[in-house]
Amino acid sequence: MSVMEKEVGTLICDLSEQGIKLSVNQGNLKVDAPKGRVTPDVLRVLKDRKPEIIKELKGVDGEFQFGKTASLYRGAKLPNRIHLDEAIHLYLERGWIQIYSTYLESNIYLVRDDAIRVPDPSIPKYTQAEIQSLKDLTLDELKTLHEAKVLFKGKIIS
């Protein structure tokens, strides 16, 4: 799939992995990247897809927020928002996805299993089995377990 054919959320994530950070400032697309990262091809894509990139970064209230690098887009209304079907595709393809949990007020990775490697090991990762074991907990119990998981760099076993 060419860069021009990619879903805009995936494009934003892929550029972020290359160190190219996109944000919206007063309705304008802002590009922050190390010298030499914005190649002529990248610049052409940014120009050609500017309106849809801006729309994606600004987001629409009530839509899902998924992403690998949500913390890089704090200036946007809904950081690094990707539609649910695109998030599922990324998860199935890579075995992980980074989300911002409003319950935990923290970025976390959802991973297929413990063997999955993630870009930022300092961000806690939760396997499918861990998520399943947490489903019946209260918010306070969930927060306590999350704090223990982070503090002890452990995993939750049901």
Total structural domains within the chain:
2
Any idea how long the chain is? 158
Per-residue pLDDT at 97: 87
Per-residue pLDDT at 77: 35
Residue at a domain's end among 73, 108, 127: 73
Domain assignment present for residue 44? The answer is yes
DSSP string, 4-26: TTS-HHHHHHHHHHTT-EEEEET
- Torsion sign (Cα): 136, 102, 122, 146: negative
Please tell me whether residues 136 and 101 are part of one structural domain.
yes
Task: Tell me the residue range of the domain where 120 lies.
Answer: 95-152
Torsion of Cα atoms, 41 then 89 then 12 then 7, to 10°: 60
What does DSSP say about strands 28-32 and 125-127: parallel, antiparallel, or unpaired? unpaired
From first to last of its 158 residues, the chain has per-residue pLDDT tens of 555 667 787 788 778 878 888 888 788 888 989 999 999 999 999 999 999 888 877 754 333 344 433 444 433 333 445 566 677 778 888 898 888 787 888 889 899 999 999 888 889 999 989 988 888 889 899 999 999 999 998 888 87
